[in-house]
Amino acid sequence: MTNTTYAQDDIRRLHRLMALMTGDEKHSPAATSTLDALWVLYDRVLRVSPATARDPGRDRFLLSKGHGPMAYYAVLAEKGFVEEEALSGFGGYDSPLGHHPDRTLVPGVEIGSGSLGHGLPLAVGSVLGLRAQGLTEPRVWVLIGDAELDEGSNHEALAYAGPAGLEQLHTLVIDNSSASYGWPGGIASRFSAAGWSAETVDGRDHQALYAAYTAPHPGRPRAVVARVEPKS
Amino acid sequence: MDTMRDRFIATTTRLLDDDPRLALLLAEISKDGFQQALLRHPERVINVGIREQLLIGAGGGMALTGMRPIMHTFASFLVERPFEQVKLDFGHQGVHGILVSAGGSYDWPASGFTHMSPGDVALMDTLDGWTVHVPGHPDEAEALLREAAAGDGSVYLRLSVHANSSPQPIGGGGFTPLREGSRGVVVAVGPMLDHTLAATEGLDVTVLYATTVRPFDGEGLRRAVAGARPDVVLVEPYLAGTSTAVANDALAEVPHRVLGLGIGRRELRRYGSVEEHLAGQGLDPASLRARIAAFLS
């Protein structure tokens, strides 16, 4: 285990925040599967804060796997995008925090999601839009699940982004072995075959996640497959 | 005469030169026509291959970064195939773009039903806030495209090889009265105008011409109905009855009748020509005249 005590404290704080949200127990395994990967991304990699949430030069994070967003909201609360008090209203009529996020209701949320297979195409377009405006610094991250990779729209985006050389694009695949037919040969091989830089890591190992997130990948998009406990 | 699609290609190529906010996304269809634009603006003219879900999703992503995307392919593949992308990647994200289709309901009859999209406008009608333009002439298509490119909203521009012999002025979204009469009101949409004018020749009816069907010019229809018997015939180049509900809503305070003419749901399973398909759908001048006269008699 390469996680530091400090990181464990972070995760404990996030669990406390997640515990404030109730009412979507159906999706809570899906929520914890993303927790470590999201935290390392927001804490150490993404160049975005509440102050720069509308800055054209910010990094973008697109939560495509919109179900089970408790870890996401907890991270957003910890980073100051969302008021901690809002968490207890999770899923309520007056709450901005739904069981699937809505970008028009929460600052810092880049896309509304829930329907699977929309985030990666939107991320591709975000990179194209940034590039067309000369913004080659901001990086675009999108989080999908291994079962979400079943969606054909993701394969359209995956197959285009590699040959198009979208270096600013990063896909984080949370692999909790939830796809019914699995991915023979491994998920990373699908990305590699399409010309991406791809790596599989332990999705609970903060140091491994950080190293995979920050590895150079000149001229190619990057996929990081974070493996966590099956069906977690 | 060039086609609306030819005009779309020429006009968009010029607009891309002038407006750095515009981007064009293609899924192979029309890429030959856009060769020059692809070379001149490789960052803003994107061909994603035969990937229609990505076409719309990537357009939505570009819109999220502040660009104004124009997405183009045949109507079947632009609206019907990736419909959830249109619904979520624009409407739900709260961003806007321009969909420009070709093919319409019967543009290429020899290819059969796979390339016909009579349901596109009805499908778009299930979404909020889309402006729907159905030009009847390449000049109208160009004017509506320029207006859409300069604006900020979500626009569906439906192009067809079926066109009227001469253009009408584009009048700010409202229906244009072309004839006045007392026995009823006939609304001709886009390319249906020539046949509708021929069909109503000598009939004592008001004829309104519409190129913008959403938002529906309810005020214009109410004005026309105030000067004629409140019997309304809609002649549309897509699914029959597509605008019947909005016409009824516009006339909610007036006792009235509405007849919706257009393409039937039943597949004709015929190849042939545009004219043959219009006749097969009862939309040639003689059939239209018989149906309109029977309704208004």
Cα three-residue angle B96-B99-B102, rounded to 5 degrees: 175
pLDDT: which is higher, A2 or A153:
A153
User: What is the structure's pLDDT at B65?
Assistant: 98
**What CATH code is assigned to A3-227?**
3.40.50.970
The residue among B16, B14, B21, B102 whose CA lies nearest residue B66 is: B21
User: What is the structure's pLDDT at A1?
Assistant: 47
pLDDT higher than 60, residue A2: no
CA atoms of A220 and B288, how far apart (whole Å): 58
Q: Are the Cβ atoms of A130 and B65 closer than 8 angstroms?
A: yes
User: Same domain for B28 and B100?
Assistant: yes
Task: List b or e across A155-166, with b for residues whose CB sees 16 or more CB atoms inside 10 angstroms.
Answer: bbbbbbbbebeb
User: Same domain for B208 and B148?
Assistant: no
Residue B171 lies in a domain: no
Q: State percent of chain A over pLDDT 90.
A: 91
Task: Count the neighbouring beta carbons within 10 Å of the beta carbon of residue A50.
Answer: 13
Residue B282 lies in a domain: yes
Q: Which of A16-30, A35-49, A112-126 has the lowest mean pLDDT?
A: A16-30
- B11 touches B36 (CB < 8 A): no
Coil/strand/helix, residue B215 = coil
CA distance A55 to chain B (A): 10
Q: How many residues does chain B have?
A: 297
User: What is the structure's pLDDT at A232?
Assistant: 63
Q: Are the Cβ atoms of A126 and B61 closer than 8 angstroms?
A: yes
DSSP B98-150: EEEEE-TTTS-GGG-GGG--TTHHHHHTTSSSEEEE--SSHHHHHHHHHHHHH
- Among B109, B126, B158, the domain-final residue is B158
pLDDT (mean) for B256-278: 97
CA atoms of B156 and B152, how far apart (whole Å): 13
Chain B partners within 8 Å of A111 (Cβ): 64, 93
DSSP A25: G
User: Same domain for B282 and B138?
Assistant: no
CA distance A56 to chain B (A): 7
pLDDT higher than 60, residue B253: yes
- Where in chain B does DSSP place strands (E)? 22-26, 45-47, 68-74, 98-102, 130-133, 154-158, 176-179, 185-189, 206-210, 212-214, 231-239, 257-263
User: Same domain for B153 and B184?
Assistant: no
User: What is the structure's pLDDT at B42?
Assistant: 97
* Contacts (Cβ under 8 Å, ≥6 apart) of B269: B112, B113
The boundaries of the domain holding residue B37 are 4-158
User: What is the structure's pLDDT at A4?
Assistant: 67
Q: Are the Cβ atoms of B69 and A126 closer than 8 angstroms?
A: no
- The CATH number linked to B205 is 3.40.50.920
The string of pLDDT tens digits covering residues B132-176 is 999 999 999 999 999 999 999 999 999 999 999 999 999 788 999
Residue B129 lies in a domain: yes
The string of pLDDT tens digits covering residues A172-227 is 999 999 999 999 999 999 999 999 999 999 999 999 999 999 999 999 999 999 99
User: Same domain for B216 and B125?
Assistant: no
For chain A, domain boundaries: 3-227
Q: Are the Cβ atoms of B88 and A129 closer than 8 angstroms?
A: no
Residue B87 lies in a domain: yes
The string of pLDDT tens digits covering residues A83-113 is 999 999 999 999 999 999 999 999 999 999 9
User: Same domain for B214 and B153?
Assistant: no
Q: Are the Cβ atoms of A132 and B48 closer than 8 angstroms?
A: no
Residue B288 lies in a domain: yes
Number of domains forming the structure of chain B: 2
Residue A176, both tokens: 């909790």
User: What is the structure's pLDDT at A5?
Assistant: 65
DSSP B186-206: EEEEGGGHHHHHHHTTTS--E
Burial class (CB in 10 A: 0-12, 13-18, 19+), B87: middle
User: Same domain for B115 and B227?
Assistant: no
User: What is the structure's pLDDT at B211?
Assistant: 98
Q: State percent of chain A over pLDDT 70.
A: 97
Does the pTM surpass 0.80? The reply is yes
Residue B208, both tokens: 């309104």
User: Same domain for B46 and B75?
Assistant: yes
Residue B247 lies in a domain: yes
A150 Cβ under 8 Å from any chain B Cβ:
no
Chain A partners within 8 Å of B73 (Cβ): none
A156 Cβ under 8 Å from any chain B Cβ:
yes
CA distance A1 to chain B (A): 38
The string of pLDDT tens digits covering residues B158-167 is 999 999 999 9
A170 Cβ under 8 Å from any chain B Cβ:
no
pLDDT higher than 80, residue A3: no
pLDDT: which is higher, A169 or B172:
A169
Beta pairing partners, B157: B100, B133
CA atoms of B159 and B144, how far apart (whole Å): 11
- The CATH number linked to B124 is 3.40.50.970
User: What is the structure's pLDDT at A7?
Assistant: 80
- Among B105, B128, B158, the domain-final residue is B158
User: Same domain for B207 and B108?
Assistant: no
Residue A230, both tokens: 């099956």
Instruction: Give which of A111, A156, A170 to mutate to test B binding, by max B Cβ within 10 Å.
Output: A156
Residue B196 lies in a domain: yes
Closest residue of chain A to B45, computed from CA coordinates: A132
pLDDT (mean) for A129-145: 98
The string of pLDDT tens digits covering residues B199-235 is 999 999 999 999 999 999 999 999 999 999 999 999 9
- Among B99, B123, B158, the domain-final residue is B158
B40 Cβ under 8 Å from any chain A Cβ:
no
Q: Which residue has the tokens 């000049």?
A: B139
Q: Are the Cβ atoms of A132 and B56 closer than 8 angstroms?
A: no
B56 Cβ under 8 Å from any chain A Cβ:
yes
pLDDT higher than 80, residue A11: yes
CA atoms of A170 and A141, how far apart (whole Å): 5
Residue B190 lies in a domain: yes
A157 Cβ under 8 Å from any chain B Cβ:
yes
- B109 touches B276 (CB < 8 A): yes
Chain B partners within 8 Å of A112 (Cβ): 88, 92-93
The string of pLDDT tens digits covering residues B72-126 is 999 999 999 999 999 999 999 999 999 999 999 999 999 999 999 999 999 999 9
pLDDT-based confidence at residue A164 (cuts at 50, 70, 90): very high
A57 Cβ under 8 Å from any chain B Cβ:
no
